[in-house]
Amino acid sequence: MKFSWVAAGLVGLTFLSAPSPCSLLAQSHKDPLSPSEVEEVRDSTDFPQMRVKLYMRFVTERSSSIQELSKQQLVEQRSLKIHDAIEAYTSLVDELQANLDEYIGYETNSQRPVPDLRKLLPVLQSSVTTWRETVATLPANPDYDFVLENATEATDSLRDEVKEMIASQAKYFAEKKKEEKARPGGYALP
């Protein structure tokens, strides 16, 4: 067996020209926000409640777009668009939850988004169930199982966090009320 520099060069060129797994992963991750939405998020950096409301709006919009895609039978590359939209939805639910973790404390001014989240969660959970039914009508693809499972887990995790936040806030406000009643005149001392 002779060593061939030509063959070795071709093999080397093949490895050098092939994209690395890391670059493939980086290319496959697409930002779920449009440039104008990214700008809105930047503008709300100093306003946590506004930022949470923005992510709630983005999640709702993505959920609605998936519902619309589900109803349209003659859309070009429909199954791929549904897959990508579910991935975007999941990313945005994760971002919403991260913003709740980061910004929402248990003080008076942080309870405002909670009622809206409380109303939104059953809608999102119902949507995920509907998507499962839609995906069942598409050609079999194991990628759908993965993205649907991620969407379900993200939505369930958000629901659990909101429930925990509501319980913590109720406890916080009950304690505040007791403290105010215990003070002379019912006023908080500086």
pLDDT tens for the chain, 190 residues long, are 555 555 555 444 444 444 433 333 334 457 889 999 999 999 988 888 888 889 999 999 999 999 898 888 777 888 888 899 999 999 999 999 988 877 665 454 555 667 788 888 899 989 988 888 888 887 777 878 899 999 999 999 999 988 888 888 788 778 888 888 877 665 555 5
Nearest to 91 by CA among 143, 158, 140, 45: 158
Q: pTM for the complete prediction?
A: 0.72
Q: What is the pLDDT of residue 178?
A: 85
- Asked if the structure places residue 11 within a domain, the reply is no
Q: What gap in Å lies between CA 3 and CA 7, rounded to an integer?
A: 8
Q: Count of domains in the chain?
A: 1
Instruction: Print the domain residue range for 89.
Output: 31-178
- Asked if the structure places residue 88 within a domain, the reply is yes
Q: What is the pLDDT of residue 110?
A: 55
Contact call for residues 35 and 100 (beta carbons, < 8 A): no
Q: What gap in Å lies between CA 148 and CA 138, rounded to an integer?
A: 13
Q: What gap in Å lies between CA 166 and CA 178, rounded to an integer?
A: 18
- Asked if the structure places residue 15 within a domain, the reply is no
- The CA–CA distances, whole Å, from 114 to 56, 120, 136, 141 equal 11, 10, 33, 37
Q: What is the pLDDT of residue 173?
A: 79
- Asked if the structure places residue 82 within a domain, the reply is yes
Q: What is the pLDDT of residue 141?
A: 77
- Asked if the structure places residue 183 within a domain, the reply is no
- Asked if the structure places residue 86 within a domain, the reply is yes
- Asked if the structure places residue 150 within a domain, the reply is yes
Q: What gap in Å lies between CA 143 and CA 139, rounded to an integer?
A: 11
- Asked if the structure places residue 151 within a domain, the reply is yes
**SS3 labels along 17-48:** HCCCHHHHHHHHCCCCCCHHHHHHHHHCCCCH
